[in-house]
């Protein structure tokens, strides 16, 4: 039986979820008895990081949508086995920057691939280890892309170069996923000031942990 917890952070490009995750770590560590581990997808371990480099390389604009999906799934499996499972078995709380919902939103809603097939591949990769909680950071696509443009220090990847309509489809995909998974996914207004977004995320996580410990 799982001893720890998986909390995933999801959102369209420019939502600020990575920044929020980084801000949350010291806040959670100061309040919790359990260790907090942070990681990301694709990536988190050496093999998955190499796959990340292939997926997000701005020179790989001719990558087929199914190739893209399968690379994400392969990276997810390696990351789960090598890093996530050992952490939760040790009783740690794992914060993941992107997880299973990203594939449904980006390759499903965004690329138009079959969402049922994506869900099957996701579950084949993760088995029964779904997130205990998912924070979805929602922001208008135009706002997210403007943030990316302004943040010169941010990694620019192949997905950032997509047209606006692709980002809008991804956002709508996320909204649909959130509506269908209300028990697991909490939507946070990412258009708020950063401090407010961090506080909303913190209170959501603390409430989930308190509920599970009762």
How many domains does the structure of the chain reveal? 1
* Position 157 in a domain: yes
* Position 147 in a domain: yes
| Residue 32 structural domain | 5-209
* Position 21 in a domain: yes
For residues 81 and 88, give the distance between their C-alpha atoms in angstroms, rounded to a whole number. Answer: 11
- Structure-block tokens of residue 14: 């420019």
Lowest mean pLDDT among 19-23, 68-72, 131-135, 142-146: 142-146
120 neighbors 155 (Cβ within 8 angstroms):
no
Please determine, for residue 6, whether its predicted confidence score (pLDDT) is greater than 90.
Answer: yes
Q: What are φ and ψ of residue 187, in 5° steps?
A: -90, 130
* Position 69 in a domain: yes
**pLDDT score at 1:** 41
For residues 35 and 94, give the distance between their C-alpha atoms in angstroms, rounded to a whole number. Answer: 9
* Position 214 in a domain: no
Q: Which residue has the tokens 């950032």?
A: 160
- Structure-block tokens of residue 195: 């401090």
CATH number at residue 63: 3.40.50.300
pTM (2 decimals)? 0.94
What rounded mean pLDDT belongs to the chain? 94
Give me the mean pLDDT over the 43-71 stretch.
96
């Amino acid at each position: 039986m799982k001893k720890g917890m998986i909390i995933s952070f999801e959102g369209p490009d420019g939502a600020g979820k990575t920044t929020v995750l980084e801000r949350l770590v010291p806040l959670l560590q100061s309040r919790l008895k359990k260790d907090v581990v942070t990681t990301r997808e694709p990536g988190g371990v050496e093999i998955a990081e190499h796959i990340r480099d292939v997926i997000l390389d701005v020179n790989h604009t001719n990558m087929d949508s199914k190739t893209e999906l399968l690379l994400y799934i392969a990276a997810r499996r390696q990351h789960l086995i090598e890093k996530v499972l050992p952490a939760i078995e040790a009783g740690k709380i794992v914060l993941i920057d992107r997880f299973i919902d990203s594939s449904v939103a980006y390759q499903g809603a965004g690329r138009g691939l079959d969402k049922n097939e994506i869900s099957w591949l996701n579950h084949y990769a993760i088995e029964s280890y779904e997130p205990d909680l998912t924070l979805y950071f929602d922001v208008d696509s135009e706002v997210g892309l403007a943030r990316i443009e302004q943040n010169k220090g941010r990694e620019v990847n192949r997905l950032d170069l997509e047209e606006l309509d692709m980002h809008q489809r991804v956002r709508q995909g996320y909204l649909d996923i959130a509506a269908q998974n209300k028990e697991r996914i909490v939507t946070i207004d990412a258009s708020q000031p950063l401090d407010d977004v961090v506080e909303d995320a913190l209170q959501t996580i603390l409430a989930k942990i308190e509920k599970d410990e009762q």
